[in-house]
Chain A
Amino acid sequence: MIREKSIIQGNEQLAPGFWKMRLVAPEIAATVKPGQFINVKIAQCKAPLFRRPFTVFRCLDLDKDRPGIEVVYEVVGRGTRMMSAMGKGDELDIIGPLGRGFKRRDDKRVHILVGSGVGLPALFMLGEELSLAAGRGELELVIMLDAKTKERLILEEEFGSLNGKTLVSIHDGAYGYHGYVTEMLRAYIAEEDIAADCAIYACGPELMFKALVPICSQYNIPAQICMERNMGCGIGACLSCVCRVDKKAVMKHRDVRSSHVQFEDAGSSGYALVCCDGPVFNIDEVIFDE
């Protein structure tokens, strides 16, 4: 974890409401792993008060071989609106890399990325890694991109450049598969008969995760999901960004002693911190109905 004064190299609109910011961040770029995030202080004054967390979209070499990172964000409130007004040369105070990212399931042959809306960027670094392995013939990569409308579909070209099969679902049927990505996924798994040998990595709204649950349990497919929460500190101190987790599943997947998951003496569930036990969780760990 490093705190960097980062200079903005570029800030461009990708689609209505979606922006991509490029930052000089050599130290973070050197260590960030797929699924990890940075916490950005946007305002110099006290409004908005908190930092805003963004998953790192990708790392890249900027001019003069300076390592940088990119984040892709949606303008949803005051903080992101202020961000979208910033430009080249402006300075940002960022902390990162933070959180526990994706863990590649090397025991599986088919790796499926399932992303929707502003959840897509969180999957790209993992996609790049898997793409390299797919290029060497070690695995198969399938990428499912989802958006409400065609106008809101982002990063199709970037994901399309990876060594994998790219499928698109648009809810109103204007383009690609007509419907939700989870329906497309269910049909794909059945058609290709890959249930026994695949792993899913997903990022999107919580409703999408909830729709993934029955698919994963029906076919017994392991899935990792990248969760989103409002955060206070982003580093495990304020205990605000919790998600409810199942004790049995947590005990199965992780070393509870080195996690921040808090259980009570009696009880089958507890709270994990999205900022440092996550943002990536195994889907069976998370209890969605709270």
Chain B
Amino acid sequence: MDNSPNLCVQLAPGHSAGLSLSNPVMIASGIFGYGEEYAQLVEIQKLGAVVCKGTTLAPRRGNPQPRLVETASGLLNSVGLENIGVEALIREEAPKWASWQVPVIVNVAGETIEEYVEVVTRLEGVQGISGIELNISCPNVSAGGAEFGMNPEIAARVTAAVKGASSLPLMVKLSPNVTDIRAIALAVQEAGADAISLINTLKGMAFAVDKGKPRLGNITGGLSGPAIKPVALRMVYEVAEVVRVPVVGCGGIASASDALEFIMCGASAVQVGTANFTDPGIGLTIVKGIEEFMREKKVERLTDLAGLAH
């Protein structure tokens, strides 16, 4: 009998095609670009999934520099959704993904509901895409972005509109910059989300005392990295308690133990972001660490660990 633990997860059980991952470790959006940049350093095909850079209808050149500040165990960024636009993604990036073993999920962003719908409409039938992650939580753009993720009604409206226009499994990424994340999670679930990922970055700021001005060109930015992990974990715990769709935990994960915390608090899978910049192999290290933990504790299926905290 094969005694290797089963790390498979199904992130869209309510969807006809489903979104099946060989393991629960995904690379978060905005980290691996379109997947290729890290392919030279990492066996990306062994990851659970890769979420590509947030994609809008037209190309965006992004925010003024500086776009990045290192903070205490964290990263404050204001890239501002720089991306090549959906047409270039379909033309230049998706054809490469079609031959990949690792599922690629396209993160979709927009300034209006119409833009979100238009982007997912164009992604219909494109080979190489396994799912959509709806970005209603980018803190770094003036129009749209996080506004969609701050109000349950609006969050539900954009989710329903996209669900109606796309046949792909739909995961909605929530913003932590809200009063009650459970209300938003329930709203997007009712509107048809197949899964919910959280959290996006926390809105933050850094100031250069010697220059007398903010350190980011955009003044404010989104905080990620180990500094935000306790906040992310609390929110995953809260959301997993109230929703029935799979939850994907994200925020400061940098080790297998971090990932297991999220899984035991109710996450079906995790996304690793900032930690990749320091250690490009961290995703696979985490997969191995989870497997070792399961072997040691004689856990056969990852799903047996899910939500132990509840």
Interface residues of A (CB under 8 A from B): 1, 3, 41, 46-51, 93, 95, 229-244, 262-265, 267, 269-271, 290
Cβ A233 vs Cβ B64 within 8 A? no
Query: Do A230 and B66 contact each other (CB < 8 Å), given the known contacts A1-B41, A240-B77?
Result: yes
Asked whether A232 lies within 8 Å of B280 as measured between CB atoms, the reply is: no
Closest 6 CB pairs of A and B: A240-B68, A237-B33, A237-B37, A233-B277, A240-B67, A46-B73
Specify which chain A residues have a CB less than 8 angstroms from the CB of B68 in the assembled complex: 230-232, 238, 240-241
Residue pair A49, B278 in contact (C-beta under 8 Å): yes
- Which of B53-61, B171-179, B297-305 lines the interface with chain A? B53-61
Contact B82 A233 (CB under 8 A): no
Q: How far is the CB of B250 from chain A (nearest CB, A)?
A: 16
Q: Which residues of A contact B274 (CB under 8 A)?
A: 49
CB-based contact B82/A46 at 8 Å: no
A254 CB, nearest partner CB in chain B, Å: 17
Residue in B38, B65, B73, B75 whose CB lies within 8 Å of A235: B38
**B77 contacts A232, C-beta separation under 8 Å:** yes
Q: Is the interface of A mostly helix, strand, loop or mixed?
A: loop
Contacts of A234 in B (CB 8 A): 277
B217 at the interface (CB under 8 A from A): yes
**Is there an interface contact between B65 and A264, defined as CB atoms closer than 8 Å?**
no
Q: How far is the CB of A83 from chain B (nearest CB, A)?
A: 15
| Interface positions of B from 244 to 299, Cβ below 8 Å from A | 254, 274, 276-281
Closest chain-A Cβ to B82's Cβ sits at a distance in Å of 5
Q: Check B204 for interface membership: any CB of A closer than 8 A.
A: no
Nearest CB to that of B41 among chain A residues?
A: A3
From A49, A240, A265, B59 is in contact (CB under 8 Å) with A265
- Does B70 reach chain A (CB closer than 8 Å)? yes
A/B interface sample: 20 pairs, CB < 8 A: A46-B73, A47-B73, A50-B277, A95-B41, A230-B70, A233-B276, A236-B37, A237-B31, A238-B30, A238-B79, A239-B67, A240-B67, A240-B79, A242-B82, A262-B61, A263-B61, A264-B58, A264-B59, A269-B61, A290-B217
B30 touches A290 (CB 8 A): no
Q: Which residues of the partner chain A approach B33 to less than 8 Å between Cβ atoms?
A: 236-239
Q: Give the CA-CA distance A263 to B58 in the complex, in Å.
A: 10
Do A232 and B277 touch (CB < 8 A)? Answer: yes
B74 at the interface (CB under 8 A from A): yes
Closest A-chain residue to B274, C-beta based? Answer: A49
Residues of B within 8 A of A (CB): 30-33, 37-38, 40-41, 53, 58-62, 64-70, 72-75, 77, 79, 82-84, 217, 225-226, 254, 274, 276-281
Contact B41 A264 (CB under 8 A): no
Q: Is the CB of B82 within 8 A of A239?
A: yes
Residues in chain A near residue B72, CB distance under 8 A: 47
Residues on A with beta carbons closer than 8 Å to the beta carbon of B77: 232, 238, 240
Residues of chain A within 8 A (CB-CB) of B277 are: 49-51, 232-234, 238
Separation of A46 and B69 alpha carbons in the complex (Å): 15
Q: Which of B31, B64, B217, B254 contacts A46 (CB 8 A)?
A: B254
CA of A223 to CA of B104 in the docked complex: distance in angstroms? 41
- Whether A49 pairs with B226 at a CB distance below 8 angstroms is yes
B209: shortest Cβ distance to chain A, in Å?
A: 14
Q: A46-B73, A49-B75, A232-B77 are in contact. Are A239 and B62 (CB under 8 A)?
A: yes
Interchain nearest-CB distance for B271 vs A (Å): 15
Please give, as numbers and ranges, the residues of chain B lying within 8 Å of A238 by CB-CB distance. 30-31, 33, 68, 77, 79, 277
Known: A46-B225, A240-B67. 13 other contacts (CB 8 A): A1-B41, A47-B73, A48-B70, A232-B77, A233-B31, A237-B33, A241-B65, A241-B67, A242-B82, A262-B84, A264-B60, A271-B61, A290-B217
CA distance A241 to B287 in the complex (A): 30
Contact assessment for A242 and B37 in the assembled complex, using a CB-CB cutoff below 8 Å? no
Inter-subunit contact B40/A262 (CB<8 Å): no
Best-buried of B62, B70, B73 by chain A (most CB within 10 Å): B70
Among A3, A230, A270, the residue within 8 A (CB) of B61 is A270
Question: Is the Cβ of A3 less than 8 Å from the Cβ of B280?
Answer: yes
Q: How far is the CA of A290 from the CA of B66 in the complex (A)?
A: 9
A41 and B279 contact, Cβ closer than 8 Å, known pairs A49-B75, A237-B32: yes
* Smallest CB separation, B77 vs chain A (Å): 6
| Distance, CA A108 to CA B66, complexed state (A) | 35
Q: Which of A41, A49, A95, A244 has the most CB of B within 10 A?
A: A49
CA distance A264 to B63 in the complex (A): 12
Q: How far is it, in angstroms, between the C-alpha of A47 and the C-alpha of B41 when the chains are bound?
A: 23
